[in-house]
Amino acid sequence: MNRLAGRLGVPLSLFALVAVVATIVYAVSPNSLQQAVIVILINIVLVVGLYVFTGNSGVYSFGQLAFAMLGAYVGGLLVMPTALKQVQVPNAPEFLRSVTFVPAAAVLIAGLVAVLVAIPIAVPLSRIGGLSAGLATVAMLISMNVVASEWSDLTRGRRGLSSIPTTTTLTWALVWVLVALVVAGVHQTSSSGRQLRASRDDEVAAAASGVWISLRRGQAFILSAFLNGVGGALFGMFLGSVSPSVFYLDYTFIVIAMLVVGGARSLSGAVFGAVVVGVLQEFLRRVEDGSLLGLDVPSRPGLANVALGVLLVAMLLRRPHGLTGGRELCWWRQRAA
């Protein structure tokens, strides 16, 4: 019982807090804020996905949203009605044009496709670290963006897919947040996760103790790809469209900022960072377009990006380990490993 509580206590505590707050805010908010709540929940899935690799390994990846883009395209194509696919992607493979999946299956398949793509990438990437790994992940993001932009038979190029059924509701977003938190929580408390976190703290000592670092990094990278593929599919089914520009550099840096602000060394930090930055973005978006509290005030274009940059610098200077300081929120006293 204690072992089960140790593995699931943190993710279930975080989910309970997120679910209660999200449900209350959603129930009392106008439509625009309801949409913002769902976006924040999707961001939690994406940030937790990034945390699984970056938070546990200490190797920053700038390319995980490439798997979110892949998941968005796969999920969008799978849930799109066959008649619409005949119009939008008439040159796609026949088996893809002739089938339609329910949203839950499409999201799961999107995550699994991301895993299949991540496996060959993980082999060389897991053997490098530091700046080299960061540059390699940037190259991965750029490469996948180019493929999505030019593969017009399947992705419609830069025009992207449209008329995707919008099936991501509050309930489905919460379900996948729970899945992401449980997967991340179980991984970080498993033998594989503990070995990876040991290599993060002292790579030389971990290797000397017999930790197969490249294998552990590769496993975390593949698991991270799955969660990002799921998050991308949810986002595509929320927007109703997807294009290569959605999951590119701007969104990448926002997701990384969420992880850094919350604290990259804990699962709680990933969740808190996604919520705090998401709320700040929504507030600043309203300031930008002059619609704050329904008042007619001059718009301030670019304010959200400037404020986010200032917040990130301030956090790096004052609290380099983020809001949580590497600690976990739980219903019993426990600190992060």
Higher-confidence residue of 140 and 329: namely 140
Residue 235 near residue 43, CB atoms below 8 Å: no
| Distance from C-alpha of 75 to C-alpha of 70, rounded to nearest angstrom | 8
| Distance from C-alpha of 227 to C-alpha of 47, rounded to nearest angstrom | 9
Q: Does position 1 have pLDDT exceeding 60, yes or no?
A: no
The mean pLDDT of the chain is: 88
Say how many Å lie between the first and final Cα of the chain, rounded: 20
Q: Report pLDDT for 335.
A: 43
| Distance from C-alpha of 6 to C-alpha of 189, rounded to nearest angstrom | 8
Q: Report pLDDT for 295.
A: 56
**Three-class SS state of 65:** helix
| Distance from C-alpha of 300 to C-alpha of 285, rounded to nearest angstrom | 9
Higher-confidence residue of 111 and 337: namely 111
Lowest average pLDDT, out of 101-110, 245-254, 328-337, goes to 328-337
CA–CA distances in Å: residue 147 to residues 139, 151, 182, 331: 12, 6, 33, 46
Q: What is the mean pLDDT of residues 233-241?
A: 95
Percent of the chain with pLDDT over 70: 92
Q: What is the H or E stretch that residue 186 is in? A: helix 170-189
| 180 belongs to a structural domain | yes
pTM over 0.85: yes
Higher-confidence residue of 26 and 304: namely 26
Q: Does position 270 have pLDDT exceeding 70, yes or no?
A: yes
Q: Report pLDDT for 3.
A: 62
| 319 belongs to a structural domain | no
Q: Report pLDDT for 153.
A: 87
Measured N-to-C along each axis, helices 191-201 and 213-239 cross at an angle, to the nearest 10 degrees, of 110
Lowest average pLDDT, out of 117-121, 129-133, 283-287, 317-321, goes to 283-287
**Which residue from 240, 269, 278 is spatially nearest to 336, judged by alpha carbons?**
269
| Distance from C-alpha of 185 to C-alpha of 10, rounded to nearest angstrom | 7
Q: How confident is the model at residue 334 (pLDDT cuts 50, 70, 90)?
A: very low
Q: How confident is the model at residue 244 (pLDDT cuts 50, 70, 90)?
A: very high
| Distance from C-alpha of 333 to C-alpha of 6, rounded to nearest angstrom | 11
| 265 belongs to a structural domain | no
Residue 3 near residue 139, CB atoms below 8 Å: no
Higher-confidence residue of 217 and 302: namely 217
Q: pLDDT, tens digit, for every residue of 137-155?
A: 999 999 999 999 999 888 9
Higher-confidence residue of 75 and 314: namely 75
| 77 belongs to a structural domain | yes
Q: What is the H or E stretch that residue 89 is in? A: none
| 278 belongs to a structural domain | no
Q: Report pLDDT for 164.
A: 93
**Which residue from 120, 84, 76, 97 is spatially nearest to 232, judged by alpha carbons?**
76
Residues 6+ apart with CB under 8 A from 162: 88, 240, 241
**Maximal C-alpha separation, the chain:** 63
Q: Does position 293 have pLDDT exceeding 60, yes or no?
A: no
| 253 belongs to a structural domain | no
Q: Does position 165 have pLDDT exceeding 60, yes or no?
A: yes
Q: How confident is the model at residue 332 (pLDDT cuts 50, 70, 90)?
A: very low
- Output the six-digit token pair for 226: 């799955």
Higher-confidence residue of 131 and 301: namely 131
Q: Which structural domain, as residue segments, surrounds residue 57? A: 2-248
| 31 belongs to a structural domain | yes
What's the number of domains the chain is made of? 1
- Output the six-digit token pair for 205: 């000592």
| Distance from C-alpha of 201 to C-alpha of 204, rounded to nearest angstrom | 9
Q: pLDDT, tens digit, for every residue of 7-63?
A: 788 899 999 999 999 999 999 988 888 999 999 999 999 999 999 999 999 999 999
Lowest average pLDDT, out of 108-117, 171-180, 273-282, goes to 273-282
| 36 belongs to a structural domain | yes
Q: Report pLDDT for 290.
A: 63
Q: What is the H or E stretch that residue 105 is in? A: helix 103-125
